[in-house]
Amino acid sequence: MKEDAFIYLASQSPRRAQLLGLLGVHHELLLAGPDEDAEALEHVLPGESPTAYVQRVTALKLDAAVARHRRLGLPPAPVLCADTTVAFGRTILGKPENRDDARRMLAMLSGRTHRVLTAVALQHGRRRHAALSVSRVRFAAVDARRIAAYVASGEPEGKAGAYAIQGRAAAFVEHISGSHSGIMGLPMFETAELLRKAGFAL
């Protein structure tokens, strides 16, 4: 792979950009335009499992990013996409609709173990590589007062499961099993493996 090689990151998440930078890979953002309804891609199908959901949404996001790359006539380079979802059993906890919804989700997770699933996909020419990271997170019992204070901070907004493990919610986490970076939104190990398949020497 040439020294000036880079990839496109199709994600608005600053956490993913930061984690990708830790791998030493130069990247450029390839974000959805105002004419694209990115939220529509995250609609859950009836009876869909969390695993099937996060893999399907990631594939759809990558399809959209590849089409965007082609439409804009950008220089060729691999395109990377990822999506993270929080699952309590078979229940998918997406981004909270409002503060009441965030409080509801956090109360559900309090004192219990849930899963965080992050799917990653990389389009390299005509080849597509994909991986899935599954981690388990146990919250300590969190009372209503602490939940309300956390929700009032605004941090749960736009976060799957209504929390960010790299923020104040870290104080709720009693135990994790799996990938901390995967819980943040981009599993480093799986992402590195996909990049190696695309010819990057990490």
pLDDT tens, position by position, 70-81: 999 999 999 999
Angstrom distance (rounded) from CA 68 to CA 46: 28
**pLDDT value of residue 156:** 96
The sign one gets for the Cα dihedral 91, 166, 81, 187 is negative
Residues of the chain with pLDDT > 70: what percent? 98
Is 38's pLDDT higher than 80?
Answer: no
CA 23 vs. chain centroid, Å, equals: 17
DSSP 97: S
- pLDDT for the residue 202: 80
Per residue in 85-112, pLDDT tens? 999 999 999 999 999 999 999 999 999 9
Give the mean pLDDT of 158-187: 96
Report pLDDT for 5: 82
Rounded to 10 deg, the angle between the 144-152 and 99-109 helix axes is 140
| Rounded Cα gap, residues 137 and 108, in angstroms | 13
Active site residue 83: yes
Q: How would residue 33 be classed by pLDDT, with cut points 50, 70 and 90?
A: confident
Q: Alpha carbon 67 to chain centroid distance?
A: 20
Cα separation, 106 vs 156, in Å, equals 9
Catalytic residue among 35, 83, 100, 101: 83
Domains of the chain, CATH where assigned: 7-197 (3.90.950.10)
CA distance 35 to 49: 29
